[in-house]
A and B are shown apart, each in its own frame.
Chain A
Amino acid sequence: MRYLPLTNDDRKNMKKIIGINDINEMFTNVPKEVSLDPKFNLPNHKTEMEVGKILSEIANKNINSNQVPFFLGAGAYKHHIPATVDHIIQRSEFLTSYTPYQPEISQGTLQYLFEFQTQVSLITGMDVSNASMYDGSTSTAEAVSMAKRITKRNKVVLSPTLHPQYAEVINTLISSNEDEIDYEFSENFEVEKLISKIDDSVSCIVVQNPDFFGSCHSLEQLAEYAHSKGTLLIVVVNEIISLGMMKSPGEMGADIVACEGQSLGNPLNFGGPYIGLMSTKDKYVRQLPGRIVGETIDMNGEKGFVLTLATREQHIRREKATSNICTNSGLCSLAFTIHLSLLGEMGFKKLSKLNHEAAIKLYNKLKNLEGFEVKNNSFFNEFTVKVPINASVFVEKMAEKRNFSRSSSI
């Protein structure tokens, strides 16, 4: 078997040194009620060629985003990923290393995470960021949990235009009592109405921007009112590219920012792995969950990086930890940071504009289409359209039109 280096002779010699005749002598701790070597109703090993064929056949049953015009959004976005990104993340030293617990032989990972934390802090307009979470939804739930720890309050207000599946995740992960979470899914985002829900028992208010329906909002007034009541403002960003032409959440007064970072460097992957971003103000850093990299010096005074503030984490604090989270999205954060380094300030802003302009062009076309209603007054790169028939029937009908040819032009 191609992944197993021991030969039968090796196995024989090793057994001799261990002092056993049969491999199962090492499994004697297994209780008698449990059968060793049971029958599995599974096929035996296959060649690389066979495996490739089986999986390719399954993959080919899907329509992928390169085959057809593609308009899906709502928390996962198709963007071009420069070839450099995938090449670098497949380097052995990044792909096949562990969490950087031994800093002397992990400076590569630690330095790019420090750079990543800086980039995330900059685009979200916050002081500090962690080294990534699983995805935007779990990052949002962790942000809520963090706000509850900081404020020592239990009530949570979710904006009606928060991604409904994010609200479900918050409800699953946070709620010990359903009354604590105020969420009524609706397309109407009204600052006044949100303000009316805030009082000094509310730990945080969670607002997605651009929201689930694509609309963009100014949040300064909301932030100011929330802060006057000791309530934290959590801003959720699904489409990170929007930050190339919008005021950052930090500028608008956010206390914690939770984002889905998939748009940079990471393919759609049918929903995962993705990369959650999380940033906050300096004063809350010790309540931030997840891995954090910090700068320090070595015994010769040379600058270097280590995982730090570990006293928040489960492997040190056990049941008193800020979160049970262990891994971050290491390789996805590498893809994110490489893509953003390639773009730089200029490229990031231009990519943002390109997205926005493509959306404007489509918006203008659909606006005048009979039977269609475009709902948004503002948007970044996605907006909501009311279609003349049942929406799920409509998208299935659209998908049936998959076989038209696209002309290639140079």
Chain B
Amino acid sequence: MNKNKGLDHDEQLLFEVGDINKTGVDLDDIDNLDQMIGDSFSENEIGLAGLSEPETIRHYVRLSRKNYSIDAGLYPLGSCTMKHNPRLNEKMARLEGFSDIHPLQPISTCQGALELIDLISSWLKELTGMAAVTMTPKAGAQGELCGMMAIKQALLDRNELNRKVVLVPDSAHGTNPATAAFLGFEVKTIKSNDKGLIDFSDFKDNIDENFAGVMITNPNTCGLFETDIVKISELTHKSGGYLYCDGANFNAVVGKLKPGDLGIDAMHINLHKTFSTPHGGGGPGSGPVVFSDRLEKFCPTPLVKNIKGDFILVEDSSEKDLAKSFGRLNVFHGQMGMFVRAMSYMLSHGADGLKQVSEDAVLNANYLRASLSSHLTPAFDGFCMHEILFSDDFLKDTGVETLDFAKAMIDEGYHPMTIYFPLVIHGALLVEPTETESKQSLDHFINTLCDLVERLKKDSDSFKAAPVFTPIRRLDETQAARKPVLRWKEEPLIAV
């Protein structure tokens, strides 16, 4: 049966369109030499489907057309920073001198690679005002892990591993408590106050002799700058703890202030957020971590060192620089391909441009705030930073929930904002426009949202049915989790 809908083509699975006897790659002939694999040699059928080149292109192009993307429209996912990904970045990352070099090349043949790592390191240190940086973490979550491991190592060095308690605000990203727990810390939640900020007295009350540190996102996930951050860092240090800052929202303040001035000890930076490397449908990310001088010596291995223009890679933990390092986070030196992209972005913007980036991000968010306040309910009073948080109060008595409202936006041509996060606000809607949206684009978005809110009173049923204009309608997620079907199989599938 033809299930195509105009430009939206139905596309079967690779294993349904492909053929085990087909290939899209011409390879040299083989000589049929005697194998030297030994007794683990096998010629058994694997079951891989193959496609010719034209079929491959068609398969993936058809699939691609079922995706929303920043390139196609505003993507207001709060806390995710879906900004424009400059194509120069992509071109630079594909220079053979960066893309086709091996992580274990002789040092004399990869001086450029080490120079690039040194260059981006110096930019990140200057922009954050911090003493040290490690480039190796593979993503934001690994960056968090890296920062918290340095803190754990510092406590070990002080022989104070009895300090087991890490405080995490209730508005934090899920990765924060997960990271602390993974490392064996005891996670204690601290409350937000009615302004969406950390309740300083609750923070203070939770500090005792077991206090290891606190993980704070700043600007926080309510889109607000933690105004007590300096007080918090002072009390943290006075109490013998460390301040970890989740730098996911660094894009709101980059070029505008130096996080080092806030008294933080470690902060990861998501290159795919602040520095425009593509999100790629869920990675790859990159999460460098900057450190205060209190934590510098506990950095992971390896380190790049610049010795009068000659670059070396310090990997051996017996070296002086790494004597107190907590170890290696991943097999090589981090996400080089992402470093090149981020460097291309930083050089393009420069110090003046990066300041403009954060100012425009904050301006765009506050413009949405001012323009939408008549129809939606901002969760907190006052200006926001780069993102604006709404509660679901405006949906009260309509029968429509946050999820329905989000799905209705899809039919209007928009990717929904982040919903039900942060957890501190009922039915939260977190909107982050980013600095790469024009005023025209924001105005269109504002009008669309206001029209939708108007429609709530007249036609709430349409929200429950949305989305309608998508390749597929709302999916049964409960069934997916209850009877997991996680791969294609030829025979009828048996549930786990």
Contact = CB atoms under 8 A, between A and B. Distances in A.
Nearest to B139: A327
Interface stretch (B46-54, B202-210, B391-399, B455-463): B46-54
B356 A1 contact: yes
5 contacts: A5-B439, A6-B360, A93-B69, A138-B329, A349-B43
Interface string B104-117: 11101111110110
A3 B486 contact: no
Given A270-B333, A321-B174, A102 B415 contact: yes
A107 B66 contact: yes
Given A3-B86, A5-B437, A273-B335, A94 B280 contact: yes
B45 interface: yes
B475 A298 contact: yes
Contacts of B370: 17-19
Given A63-B109, A269-B99, 4 more contacts: A38-B257, A62-B105, A108-B64, A350-B30
Contacts of A269: 98-99, 101, 335-337
Contacts of B111: 61-62
Given A62-B112, A169-B329, A272 B337 contact: yes
B165 to A, nearest CB: 12
A252 B40 contact: yes
Nearest to B42: A247
B7 to A, nearest CB: 13
B30 A357 contact: yes
A378 B187 CA distance: 50
B323 interface: no
A102 B49 CA distance: 28
Contacts, number: 691
Given A10-B439, A122-B46, A134 B366 contact: no
Contact of B175 (A43, A282, A324, A349): A324
A396 interface: yes
A115 B101 contact: no
B475 A104 contact: yes
Nearest to A260: B331
B88 A51 contact: yes
Contact of B100 (A54, A136, A267, A345): A267
A27 B252 CA distance: 10
Q: Which of A37, A268, A351 has the most CB of B within 10 A?
A: A268
A179 interface: no
A115 B15 contact: yes
Contact of A92 (B72, B94, B103, B406): B72
A96 B438 CA distance: 18
Given A33-B230, A48-B88, A298-B474, A272 B20 contact: no
A66 B181 contact: no
B224 interface: yes
Given A135-B138, A252-B40, A378-B36, A298 B98 contact: no
A346 B253 CA distance: 53
B347 A51 contact: yes
Interface residues of B, number: 204
B348 A3 contact: yes
Interface string B236-271: 000000000000000001011110011000000000
Interface stretch (A72-80, A152-160, A192-200): A72-80
A324 B279 contact: no
Interface string A331-374: 11010011011111111111101101101110100000000000
B169 interface: no
Contact of A103 (B187, B300, B330, B472): B472
Contacts of A229: none
B200 interface: no
A29 to B, nearest CB: 4
Interface string B1-44: 00100000001011100111111110110110101111111111
A387 interface: no
A69 interface: no
B257 A52 contact: no
Interface string A16-57: 011100010111111101111110111111101011101110
Given A76-B332, A350-B27, A271 B103 contact: yes
A314 B331 contact: no
B333 to A, nearest CB: 5
A389 interface: no
B307 interface: no
B144 interface: yes
B24 A341 contact: yes
B177 interface: yes
Given A44-B352, A97-B70, A285-B486, A55 B333 contact: no
B139 to A, nearest CB: 5
Contacts of B338: 272-273
A208 B301 CA distance: 23
Given A35-B261, A341-B50, A350-B30, A42 B487 contact: no
A261 interface: no
Nearest to B186: A319
B60 A338 contact: yes
A342 B53 contact: yes
Nearest to A124: B46
B261 A323 contact: no
B103 A270 contact: yes
A65 B187 contact: no
A78 B102 CA distance: 8
A390 interface: no
A62 to B, nearest CB: 4
A165 B331 contact: yes
A410 interface: no
B378 interface: no
B140 interface: yes
Contact of A320 (B48, B181, B261): B181
B48 A123 contact: yes
A398 B449 CA distance: 64
Given A72-B104, A93-B64, A246-B40, A104 B470 contact: yes
B282 interface: yes
A299 B336 contact: no
